[in-house]
Structure 1
Amino acid sequence: MSYIGRFAPSPTGPLHFGSLLTAVASYCDAKTNHGKWLVRIEDTDIPRIYPHSEAHILSCIDAFQFEPDAEIIFQKDRLDLYEQVLEQLKQIQAVYACQCTRKMLGSNHIYAGTCRDLHLDFNQQAIRLKVADQLICFDDRLQGQQCSNLHHELGDFVLKRRDGIISYQLAVVVDDYLQGITHVVRGADLLDNTARQIWLGSLLNYPTLSYMHLPLAMNDQGQKLSKQNMAQALDTSKAPELLQQAILALGQPNIELDQPRIMLKQAVQQWNIALIPKGIHLAGIYL
């Protein structure tokens, strides 16, 4: 099977060091397997897009001299495709309209199926995907076997919000399929999303992907680096130094400071996933 990987940041804030770890790991893993590496901007959640963050993402791709193997795509330009897939799911009765608001649901994070059998009109309602009471398992290349029962742990989940926003779960599954993605390398904070995506993909008869979830970089407060935790934006003027730091954080052999393109080439030659630290969190403290 040919290898096609991707880096798929969301422009809800500027890229930070944790984002760089994912970019480097996904790039090196694709290239060491003689595969393709694509970039996709996951911007369906339009109200949460942070000003100028898309421009920062693109400037980082250039500054770190990553070389995508296809044109960068933006999910906000593909909304019609997601609507077509929702229609497919309606045809097989895999989804239903839901009128439940956050206030109605309260603090319960497991949806009880309140609207499943009400047969509500889809107009101006959320759309939920039906899940089954069964175990979904996959072998993560780094984290080992993972199993989830969505019925007991989550319940039927939303694919399209009441305000019309397409969910991450739907967009990522559709785009991974349409782009021919075979391998997903991303942060361990997305590990619990994987069973949802496997389930949705199976209903659409999409091929199962290979997954590798990386340990997360943590700040001095014991929090993962994230836009919500105000992680520092990548300083593109320090691209070689940050690239070297990312390689070392991933447990890989050191690379000499040089032009990022040359550093990445050396990193690909030395790439060994057996050296990536095990677990969900990296031991060091990062900014």
Structure 2
Amino acid sequence: MNESLKIRPYARLLTMLGDQLIKNEQIAVIELIKNSYDADADWVKVSFENFSKDYKVTPSSRIVIEDNGTGMTKTIIEKSWMNPATPNKFSRDGKVRKTALKKRIIQGEKGIGRYAMLKLGKTIDLTTRAQGTNNEYSLCFDLKDYDDNFLSQSEQTDDLYLDSLEFNLITTSPSVFTKRRIDINNQIYDDNEHGTRIVISNLRGTWNKKKIEGITDSFFRFENLFDEIIGEHKENASKYNFNIGLYFDGEFVTRGKDNTNITLKNLFETQRVIKITNG
């Protein structure tokens, strides 16, 4: 007798891949910043909120990452965001794709942003509004009732499979992405009626001053990368400008040291997610 069998992964695959693909919390934040760059955002704001003064996580701690990128339509959420490892960062001929509006070379790894969120916390509230649309979409990944192996912390003992996870997509009139002024590093932005906002709570792991400074140090690598690109495309410099702001409990986090010698090569050497070598 012949039978057809299908691969049905357990839900814990989400955290397993995240732990193996993403080295630490700093890299997880950087991957989400890359997503904002790939969305043609002019700016991204990363806020650490409701932490203790010594950087310890409290029950109300959360990490908020927001930008004024192109945002996502319902179709993009359903076909891309909810399906990690989509091949949408490469063209059919295998060439690296560029972003639709600013023609930036896409920086983020395929689908890594989803795992980055779960690396940081167990509850993710995503709100997005696509450019030129009148709908705002909200999606909540609430996995706080499960441990890191996706075993229920209640009396329920049933196996939880990846295809058993369901999340509600809510469509509303714009409330987050409306006409508003955003100040990022003393630079004012008025065009903020589209973009994506991710709120991560029920945080995993620990934070300290060194980890926060690790993120700011990575900014130098980003800025050096963009400076090199802008230098080659001076006539279209505005396409590549990207303002990154990091805030801890409302206070702007200043840079800790001078990393002016960090180059694009350093970025690839120190911030890559996966390295493949010939064995």
Which of the pair is proportionally richer in helix? 1
Superposition TM-score, scaled by structure 2 size: 0.26
Superposition TM-score, scaled by structure 1 size: 0.25
Higher relative contact order (CA 8 A, sep 6+): 2
